[in-house]
Structure 1
Amino acid sequence: MDKIEKNETESISAEAQPATERAVAGCEDVEQQTAELAAAKKSMGYGLLWCAGGLAVTLGSYFWADEGEHYLIAHGAVIWGAIQAGKGLYDCLRIRYRCGEFAAVRRMAATAACVVLLAVVLGVFGLRRTGGGAIEEPRYVAAEQLFECPTLGLRVRIPAGFTPVEDTQNATPETDSTYASHTLYVLDACEWEIDVEAVEQRISEEVGTIAEISEYCLSRDSAFYDGGFIKATRPLTVGGLDMLCSEGRRREWPGFVFSNYDLKQGQALVTVSVIYPAREYGRAATRERIGELLAGIELSPVREGGE
């Protein structure tokens, strides 16, 4: 009877032992195995912290960067953390397996597999969002470019340092709500963007000067600058060309200033949009550069038939 009670007492005592002690109870050196297991867990924890920190920095800088701005990819922290976590996991599995804790080994292996699978899914999702693979660096033209629209008598000289001119023409027959148009788009390394849109037959024959449609342009600009005006639509003359100009902000791109310059060429409305980082607004160099861009606009008489 005493023997039975003794066995029951030993069984209860074994169940009351801490998990760590039970894990290494069958090992040759309990203290050494406990220390190794603690070191492995510590290494795995530090590795996961480095991975999480690197991912947080990368995602944070990506989502906080304005349109067109660069963002930080903390790949060093993520890779180093993954190596540390993997080494710590391997040591934990090795020690527990050696001590006969096969159930714990299976649970840890299954958890690690799920974490790796989740990381792969998130990585694939991120690649799809960014276009899948490396982003090709834009090419900048070292010489001046020329955008011509002979049917409108319009020429625009683009200074060196911008991307190749992207010229799009929409020759859709005019209706009550659609018009034939010509567009230009270029971008430089300093995040300056130039857009030119020439819409044919947009201005009535009764309109003699661009100033006569200032109310229309003001209404259009009020809707365009949903972040508010910096300077409302007003007359301006550059290089002998009369135009209307305005400056404002858009909520979708809070880090940029948008400026529109409208010109009249026959019945066509020509709008030159210059977009640049807000930090450059008000600088003398900025005003000088915009002046040079506007000075590159040439309007010539249009012959009948567009010749």
Structure 2
Amino acid sequence: MTAQGDGRGARARRVSRRGAGLLALVVVSAWALLWVGVRAAPSPPAGTAGTPWLASALEDLARGRTESAIGKLRLARWNAPDDPEAPILLAWVHGSRGEWDQAAELGASLPLESMDPSSRLAAQGLLAMAYHATGRLPMAARAYGALLEQAPAAVLALEGLGELALAAARDEQQGARLSQAWPASPAPASSEAWRATAEAHLRDAIARAPDRVDLYVLLASSLMESDRWDEAEELLRQALRVDFRAARVHFSLGQVYEHRGDRQAAISAYRRALEADPSFTPALLRLERLEPSRSDG
């Protein structure tokens, strides 16, 4: 596999973790909207022929019957082609499964300008994540920017723009690509400016979603890359107060300790990462390097 393919795969996995978590919220929100709609209009108006299929699909999703839900969402879309709810939810389901090409195709087919504000926000968030996961980073930047313009507190957009700006800080070519599509003008003009932009967005995201430990880890990675190890450690300790069982937080702390030359503290942190998640390969690899007898045994 090429380095480009590896990068796209890692990026898709990161975005998929967000998509999987957000799918539950989308399902709950859709159930609430459907319940309100049924209570407000006992006799469904014209154009809601897909509602029974949508309701049944939502029940399937709640019970983990994803394949059945996908079929019913397709039927809902076919029966009510002008209703965006089914294709939006179908696209989110594809995204939660890592099928971001399908999600992007569905999202791009939606008539954003004619949609109601809540549906438009959901569709724009979906498109941003799909473009991001599939490596279409300038398009992702525009979509995150459109989402943030309508919803300035949208953590999804703040996180996405923070991650894109961090990619630009790390890679001059990415910075050149993103500068043409960056939603704020003027776009950052140096790696230091990109990093400052990334960190500002990520700090804003943490302030609005303090329970999201992955945001702390992402920001800490930027701090470590710019040799601000004490700041990174403090941030990661804040993350542990949110979730002490977060493997990625313990792993990042291990990196801090290893950089300082505190081998035993690093080993302890990597061990805690594996205790939290025995399948967390990066921690296992670090331990094998720091403890040669571990791999021999």
- With CA pairs under 8 Å and 6+ residues apart, which has the higher RCO, 1 or 2? 1
- Both proteins in one fold, TM over 0.5: no
What's the TM-score, normalizing by structure 1? Answer: 0.26
Instruction: Normalising by structure 2, report the TM-score.
Output: 0.27
Select the structure that is richer in strand.
Answer: 1
